Amino acid sequence: MWIIRGVSERLSFNVHKHIDNILEALSEHGVHATFFITGRVAEKHPEILQKICKHDHEIGSHSYAHGDFSEVSRAEAKEDILKSITVLSKYQEIRGFRAPFLVRNRATYLACEDLNMDYDSSEYGLVKYRPNGFRALVIPVVSPLDTHGLDLMHFKPEELVAKWTSECSKSVGAAICMHVWRMGRKKYIKAILEPLLESGMTFVRAHELLSANGIAFTFDVEYTSFGEALPQNLALLKSPGWKYPQSLQARSFVKD
C-alpha cells in the first residue's frame, strides 16, 4: 500500500547516504544540479553542503524549517527565507528559492523580490498569486513530482520517467523536482534517475536558465514526516495549479 511505503521510506531516510548516492550518479554522467536545502538541514549537516559545493552543484533556499507558506505575511515570509539564506550563504551565493510543498502565496513572491532573489521555482502552472511586474525569473516545475507520482497517482517509475521526458521535450526552461529522501535510494536511482540522465536532455543548474536553455535537475532536501507532508500534498493536488499549461519556458515567465 502506498501509504505504508511512504511512511517506511521517510522513517528510513538517511540524508548522508541518499545525498552520496545522488552525487555519485550525477558525477558519473557529468551533470550538475540544484539542491534546495532548508536552513535547519544546513545547520545540522554542514558537511553535506560542503560536499555539494565540492561537486560544483548549486544550492538554493527551501525555507528555514519547511513550514506552510500558504498564509504567511510578506514580513513572515521574508524573515523565514532570510534566515535560511543567512545559513546557506556561508557555502555559496544563494540566488533562488523554492517554497515547501510548492505551496505559497503572493507574499512569498514579494519576499523573494525584497531579498533580491534571481529566481523562484515554486510554480506549477499557477499564476494567480504572482504580482504584476514580478522581476525574478520564475522556473516552472514539471510535474507530477516524484512523491505524488509514485504514491498518490500510483505511477510506476518507468511511467513517471516517460511523462517527465515528454513534458520536458516541450520546454527549454523548466525544473524536474525530486526529493532526496526518496530519489536517493538506489532502486530509484536505477529506475528513474539513470534513465533521465541517459535521455539526451540538456540538464543545467537552475540559475543557468537565466541565460541558457535546458532542464534544471533539482532536489529538495528537508526533514518532513509523512504526517506533516500529507495535508500539504493533498492541498496541492486540489490546487488549480495542477492544470498544467503546455510548453512552458522559464524565460516566458518573466513579466515586464
Buried b (16+ CB within 10 A) or exposed e, 30-65: ebbbbbbbbbbbbeebeebbeebeeeebbbbbbbbb
| Pick from 218, 212, 8: nearest CA to 121 | 218
The pLDDT confidence band at residue 45, using thresholds 50, 70 and 90, is very high
This prediction has a pTM of 0.90
Highest-confidence segment of 74-83, 149-158, 222-231: 74-83
The total domain count for the chain is 1
The pLDDT confidence band at residue 245, using thresholds 50, 70 and 90, is very low
pLDDT at residue 161, as a whole number: 93
Q: Which helix (H) or strand (E) holds 177?
A: strand 173-179
- Partners of residue 177 on adjacent β-strands: 218
Interacting residues of 23 by C-beta distance below 8 A, sequence separation 6+: 51, 52, 55, 57
171: amino acid identity, one letter: S
Burial class (CB in 10 A: 0-12, 13-18, 19+), 219: buried
Q: Does residue 248 surpass a pLDDT of 60?
A: no
Pull the grid cell for residue 9: 521510506
Average pLDDT over residues 151-165: 86
Average pLDDT over residues 112-128: 85
pLDDT at residue 194, as a whole number: 96
pLDDT at residue 111, as a whole number: 96
pLDDT at residue 13, as a whole number: 79
157: amino acid identity, one letter: P
pLDDT at residue 241, as a whole number: 47
Range of the domain at 49: 2-253
- Partners of residue 15 on adjacent β-strands: none
The pLDDT confidence band at residue 130, using thresholds 50, 70 and 90, is confident
pLDDT at residue 33, as a whole number: 98
CATH code for the domain in which residue 243 is found: 3.20.20.370
**Residues 28/55, Cβ–Cβ less than 8 Å:** no
- Partners of residue 220 on adjacent β-strands: 36, 179
Helix (H, G, I), strand (E, B) or coil at 44: helix
pLDDT at residue 163, as a whole number: 87
Mean of per-residue pLDDT scores for the chain: 85
Pull the grid cell for residue 134: 514580478
The pLDDT confidence band at residue 233, using thresholds 50, 70 and 90, is low
Average pLDDT over residues 76-96: 97
Q: Does residue 200 surpass a pLDDT of 70?
A: yes
**Residues 101/124, Cβ–Cβ less than 8 Å:** no
**Residues 64/83, Cβ–Cβ less than 8 Å:** yes
| Pick from 15, 120, 37: nearest CA to 84 | 37
Q: Does residue 2 surpass a pLDDT of 60?
A: no
| Pick from 152, 153, 219, 163: nearest CA to 195 | 163
- Partners of residue 79 on adjacent β-strands: none
| Dihedral angle of Cα 132, 137, 142, 145, to the nearest 10 degrees | -90
> DSSP class of residue 189?
I
Residue by residue, DSSP assigns 216-232 as: EEEEEE----HHHHHHH
